Structure 1
Amino acid sequence: MAYNKNNLLAKIIEIQELTLHLYHKVGLTYKEIFWQHIHPQYHISYRTFHTYLGTPARRELKQLQQNGKN
């Protein structure tokens, strides 16, 4: 569980970047990526993993940062 929305979005971005790297560069499937890399480190479910992949985290984080400055 993230401490706040910023930390959650940062965690989602980290997971998305790791997944993209392993999927495109190494050639692993999402299931292999989840069980070998994501689940042992982040302790999230497979359903949550796919939800994170579909979240526009960079855009949401940028909006939060802009709203915080105003």
Structure 2
Amino acid sequence: MNRIMNVFRSYSKNLLFVLLVASPLCAINAIITIIKTPLLQQELFQNWVSLFFYKFIITYPLALFFVAIAKKIMTRFS
């Protein structure tokens, strides 16, 4: 049971880190997309929320994958 808890603690730090990085990135990407697309400016908030979640669904798993790879690379070099 302790091993499971240790694995969960190590992954929870990664999940939180990626959440803190991916959320602002997705929000900014959604704003830029809305600014550059005049048709999306009509219903600003609704379009921003849908674009944010769409970008988040793509970005979050990719960020989890690349953060894990970056950590492995950093441990090899340090």
| TM-score in same-fold range (> 0.5) | no
TM-score (norm 1): 0.37
Ranked by relative contact order (alpha carbons within 8 Å, sequence separation 6 or more), the top structure is 1
Radius of gyration: which is bigger? 2
